Amino acid sequence: MDKTIRRFENLDAMKDEEHAYWQSRPAHERMSAISEITSALYQLKEPTADVRRIQRTLVHLQRSQS
């Protein structure tokens, strides 16, 4: 892990570097980070629940046989 402290002149420069960093990471690492952040946010929303993934609602639709 890179623990270098960087100083930026403005917010746009910081965001540009952050965007470049995440674009340089492999897809599986980006997806893992998204999963970790999502789980942490759901845990903040409902601290008593053991939220391990996004809950989905299943809907069964019947189509006519035409």
SS (H, E, C) 10-56: CHHHHHHHHHHHHHHCCHHHHHHHHHHHHHHHHHHHCCCCCCCCCCC
What six digits make up the tokens of 3?
A: 């623990």
What six digits make up the tokens of 58?
A: 């299943």
- The pTM of the full predicted model, rounded to 2 decimals, is 0.56
Q: Residue 51's pLDDT is what?
A: 56
Closest by CA to 19, choosing from 5, 28, 30, is 30
Residue pLDDT, tens place only, 12-42: 999 999 999 999 999 999 999 998 898 888 8
Q: By percentage, how much of the chain surpasses pLDDT 90?
A: 42
